[in-house]
A and B are shown apart, each in its own frame.
Chain A
Amino acid sequence: MEDPWGTALALFQVWISVLLCLVMLPAMFGLSLGVTGVYIQILVQILEVSRHMLLFLAQWIIHRDGGSMAQEMLEVRGSRPGGDFTLGDVFYFYKKGMESLVDDQVTQCFSSEELASWNLLTRTNQNFRYISLRLTVIWGVGVFVRYCLLFPLRITLATISFTWLVISTTLVGFLPETSAKHWLSEVAHLMFYRICARGLSATIRYHNKENRPKKGGICVANHTTPIDIIILANDRCYAMVGQVHGGLMGVIQRSMVRSCPHVWFERTEMKDRNTVTNRLREHVTCEDKLPILIFPEGTCINNTSVMMFKKGSFEIGGTIYPVAIKYDPRFGDAFWNSAKYNMVSYLLRTMTSWAIVVNVWYLPPMTRLDQEDASQFAQRVKSAIALKGGLIDMAWDGGLKRARVKDSLKEEQQKMYSSMIVGPDGPSDLAATPPLLDLQD
């Protein structure tokens, strides 16, 4: 009678060596066996087939009228001359208010994108109803494949990759400062990220590689998920910027910084904007250092739009290398809704999705022009990224996920309306009227 533990151990050894050969070795050289590619093709076929079996419910609720405040007021006032108040002026505000209550641009950026067609994951099933047995069977097979085949594979790879990172960077850290050390450090980091990417069945397509960020620059990108870092770092090494964490993250941070200089801040330091800016500036001016990776939105957004870029990153100076990242939502929802899920449940969900398919566009480098200030520059970079990635360019602040909106925005609305009822031209001037001071002296 064979010893069951012995068999289990033997199987485990086979499993690990298979993984080593098929995943780690190719990752070291940046090669791919093409398995993920085939897998994606099969998936696309299955999703196409299932799409025809589905009954789809429409997503949109209302159609918003685009009129400006001035236009709408004029219509309400009709033939009344002059710019004075009428009882019907309130209709504009009531209507706009109700419209935003039913459907607003901002809150939907903080929840997952709704799909046009179901992708056989229960978690994205928002608008679809039970249709047929065949579809349920396909879905059932999908569940088995994802949870029983893919998930154990991915967990193993994740564990291997983290162990590898800690060991290799610590070892490299013992070497003296030579160019060999830098090269080895890059190899160690790249391997880690590549194994991680394999672990998520990630298919990454890089466009315009000639614009890839160079040393001494700052790379900015739109933020959807912590996995963005893995996606970008698969192509070249970056210096990470972030807060010092405790626990497992802290171990990783400390080992990473041994082999090449990342910028980790203590929590107290992060509050002082000058300290932060100075340290980053120090890093950037040293031509030899890796480019910094920053996400100016400050929080994860759901990959349908780009929200306001915080101007802090654009005050440091140096060359900005914008990058646009767009995930294909058919294969899994990459967005990390930090209000709903913590990091662990998010990672578990991602590891049981179909795959991560992502397009990365490197945009040409930009620098601040003399006549623009940091926030205008930030806006310019943001628009370029939104345009390239096919995302909506939004002026709203990503911080609205957690914080209240600033009163100054309401005050702007009030100012605009006031100028309409006391301005000398009244609403006949349909362009946005500049705010006027009180006319009485």
Chain B
Amino acid sequence: MGSRASTLLREEEIEEIKKETGFSHSQITRLYSRFSSLDKGENGTLSREDFQRIPELAINPLGDRIINAFFPESEDQVNFRGFMRTLAHFRPIEDNEKNKDHTASEPLNSRTNKLLFAFRLYDLDRDDKISRDELLQVLRMMVGVNISDEQLGSIADRTIQEADQNGDSSISFNEFIKVLEKVDVEQKMSIRFLH
């Protein structure tokens, strides 16, 4: 038996994930431990049911959207690489990364990429616009049955009106960024991983 976590994850893989996501060696092994404990079928991948088994995630109103973010189009299983790639969006931005040279490709946890992640959770059909319907869907998930259709509709209309600058009655990614420019996205969309 021995330490299941580190024997099944090779050093080269850890290095690759480190480069891609920016997590440290020990963080990757601990997250692999977590991945393995969620993987009840022990086949190296997670399915949607494995995520649903976490009660705190199952009662989250946007839980289904979060789970979907891990599964690329029409796939039912996610492996550890994919798991880490999605989690990497929530890695906090370190001080030494803030002033990095922007000619290199942007790290997954940059402010823009965090916002893009949130934008994609609204924009299901990937047409780079949040339409009124898409906004209503997310709103409905968050409020359940407690608010009427009309009231929810007017909230959606008002939100689009305030954000929309080019008059197409939907919110593009740039308009999305503009609305949230004063929000501390780095803190709100980051998890405090321990080293």
**Footprint of B on A, CB under 8 Å?**
57-65, 72, 75-76, 78-79, 84-107, 111, 122-123, 125-130, 396, 400, 404-405, 409-415, 417-419, 421-422, 435, 438-440
Contact = CB atoms under 8 A, between A and B. Distances in A.
Interface residues of B, number: 64
Nearest to A59: B30
B55 A405 contact: yes
Contacts of B57: 97, 100-101, 104
Given A101-B66, A106-B56, A410-B59, A421 B194 contact: no
Nearest to B2: A125
Interface of B: 1-6, 26-27, 29-31, 33-34, 37-38, 51-63, 66, 87, 90, 118, 121-122, 138-139, 142-148, 150-151, 155, 158-159, 163, 171, 176, 179-180, 182-185, 188-194
A149 B78 CA distance: 46
Given A94-B66, A396-B55, A414-B143, A103 B34 contact: yes
Give the 6 A-B CB pairs with smallest separation, nearest first: A414-B144, A100-B56, A418-B146, A91-B188, A97-B66, A93-B62
A89 B142 contact: yes
Contacts, number: 185
Contacts of A128: 3
User: Interface centre among A62, A97, A421, by most B CB within 10 Å?
Assistant: A97
A77 to B, nearest CB: 8
A129 B3 contact: yes
Contacts of B26: 57-58
A78 to B, nearest CB: 6
Contacts of B87: 98, 101-102
A86 B135 CA distance: 11
A113 to B, nearest CB: 13
A161 to B, nearest CB: 31
A439 B159 CA distance: 20
Nearest to B7: A129
A61 B30 contact: yes
